Chains A and B, each alone.
Chain A
Amino acid sequence: MSSSLKLLGEIRQSSERRPFEVLKLAEPLLNKGSIAQAGDEVWLVYEQVFLAAIDEGQIDVAKAVLEILHNRFGEESQRVKRLYGLVSEATGHPEDAKRLYDDMLEKDATNVLANKRLIALLKSQGQYVQAIQELVSYLDTHGNDFEAWLELTHLYLDQHLYSQAAFCIEEVILQQPANHYFHLCYAEISYTMGNLDVALKEYLRVVELSTDNVRGFYGVKLTADRILDITSSRGSGKSKGPSHLKVENAPQKAMLERLSQLAAERLLAIYSGSGDAMKKTLEEWLKL
């Protein structure tokens, strides 16, 4: 039994959602009552089981666990209240949930759990504009929550508001500068917006932080080639390519060619172990 408890603890630590596994591990514990072995951890396990049950759609299990938590922590516990909200959301009563979260926030404007749940609820209902507004006001207070900034980035991207998304991902990078994934996100947003000079540098940052990063190198090749294309055509007087593309701060031609070549080489090296179909696709792409 204690090995299941340990595994559940590890899943909690890594904040993964593995609802099926959690339920499978927890079922014998709950049925046989041996969960009492966990001591004080037992409440964390209950919360974890509740979330897994909601994920898997097993509302009765969720309600049963919620009953136990309610008996221990009572009406006024913020964490328990939020779980009630989750049940309402899961059973298709979003209005009830929204009322509950609004109520919680009225009583205590600093309640992070209720705030985030409200935003998630709005998002799940497709009310993106309100979700963005709520999230912006949350970030006005809690400016150092980089996960919230990341969420806002994705919300803006869904709405194709690229410069706002770029601002948000910059905030994330400001707080987590060593994470190559955020630089990758920034690079791709910049490329989409047409800031090719920034995009190239950010893609390069990605491959510096994360050796042989495939997406990074694809980005380097694409951007470098595109800049070469544009600067050569602009130089020769032909107006090729949309004028909004920014390439002013890009490196010189020789450097661009070296980077492009490096990217191609590394990509071929990375895929050297894969099947022939992959290699062929890659070579075709590289010729473009």
Chain B
Amino acid sequence: MGGLIESTDQTMFLDPAIRNWVLFPITVIMVLVGVFRHQLTILMTGQPAKPDIKEIRQGKALMRGHTLAQNNSYIPTAAFIERKKYLCQAYEDGTYLKDKTSKEKSPTDLMADPKNMEAMMDGMKKQMMGIIPQTLIMGWIQFFFSGFILIKLPFPLGLRFKQMLQSGIMTPNMDVRWVSSISWYFINLFGLRGVFALLLGGENSADGTRDMTAMSTMGAMGQQPGQPQDFNKQFLGMKDNLSIIYHEWDLENIEQRVLVKYGKQARIFKSTRK
């Protein structure tokens, strides 16, 4: 019996018991689980690993190279060349490396480094904290609360959503606006962010949407979280950066700029003679 699906407003009366025993419980459970998750994350997150002095030195040495590359035009050429020579030599020799013997390190060695292990474990633990409750709740809802309509959405949706939002019920004619409990779960997922922000303060770990983005980026990048950095490579890269810089002192034509600024000259003349 093909034909047009009627677009008249379908009114159905839902048993108020549904409201009491499904709508509210799902929300309450989600809030509780969120708060619980937040507290648990606080307990489980160890202290961030305290960098030791050699690591700090290593990191800051890289920053020096970066600052030099960025702001090189503000110091005279001689000063720049002096620093460039020193830093390039130091990067090549590995003077600033935490562990001088480790210039040739393979990725597996880097991962074996205990500090990096801890950082990666921490990251993975956090992700587990996010994924498990979500999976559990979804499973629980599917098991207990499937096969009936829960709410009517106030806005219309396309037919594609029918499969997802009315998963337990096989009715080809019913308006997509009548949805099952799993969609209420999704609505809560996004909506409770505001509630959690109120209850737990801005930076809280009860937010479900963050886990979703984390999952999608993990899939996209396919990279382990907290991959240890290979400083030797970075130093050599910075050395290359520095060696190709053509230094132009910002103050070459400062005389003309000042004259123009104070109105003694109309504009700057680009000439080779000073």
Residue numbers of A with Cβ under 8 A of B are 109-110, 140-144, 167, 170, 173-175, 177, 198, 201-202, 204-205, 207-208, 211, 251-252, 255, 258-259, 262, 266
Contacts and interface: CB of A to CB of B under 8 A. Distances in A.
A175 B67 contact: yes
Contact of A266 (B75, B262, B273): B262
Given A174-B75, A201-B251, A205-B251, A144 B258 contact: no
B254 A204 contact: yes
Interface residues of B, number: 29
Contacts of A173: 71, 74-75
Contacts of A144: 60, 63-64, 67
B254 to A, nearest CB: 4
A177 B74 contact: yes
Contacts of B261: 208, 211
Given A144-B64, A174-B71, A208-B254, A198 B56 contact: no
Interface in B51-65: 51-53, 56-57, 60-61, 63-64
A142 B96 CA distance: 12
Contact of B79 (A140, A170, A208, A251): A170
16 contacts: A110-B51, A110-B52, A110-B53, A110-B56, A143-B64, A173-B71, A173-B74, A174-B68, A174-B71, A175-B67, A204-B258, A208-B254, A208-B258, A255-B255, A255-B274, A259-B258
B256 to A, nearest CB: 8
Contacts of B60: 141-144
Contacts, number: 72
A207 B67 contact: no
B42 to A, nearest CB: 17
A205 B256 CA distance: 11
B270 interface: no
Contacts of A201: 251, 254-255
Nearest to A175: B67
B97 to A, nearest CB: 14
A143 B67 CA distance: 10
A160 B51 CA distance: 37
Interface string B30-60: 0000000000000000000011110011001
Contacts of B164: none
Nearest to A202: B251
B71 A177 contact: yes
A140 B71 CA distance: 20
B136 to A, nearest CB: 36
Given A174-B71, A175-B71, A198-B76, 8 more contacts: A110-B51, A142-B56, A174-B72, A201-B251, A204-B255, A204-B257, A251-B274, A252-B273
A39 to B, nearest CB: 14
Interface of A is mostly: helix
B128 interface: no
Contact of B57 (A140, A170, A255): A140
Contact of B259 (A175, A211, A252, A262): A262
A2 B167 CA distance: 58
A136 B63 CA distance: 18
A216 to B, nearest CB: 10
Given A174-B74, A258-B264, A141 B56 contact: yes
Contacts of B251: 201-202, 204-205
A198 B76 CA distance: 8
A259 B255 contact: yes
B51 A251 contact: no
A258 B259 contact: yes
B99 to A, nearest CB: 16
Contacts of B63: 143-144
Nearest to A109: B53
Contact of A262 (B64, B72, B264): B264
Contacts of B79: 167, 170
B68 A251 contact: no
B83 to A, nearest CB: 8
A231 B119 CA distance: 64
Given A205-B251, A251-B255, A255-B255, A141 B71 contact: no
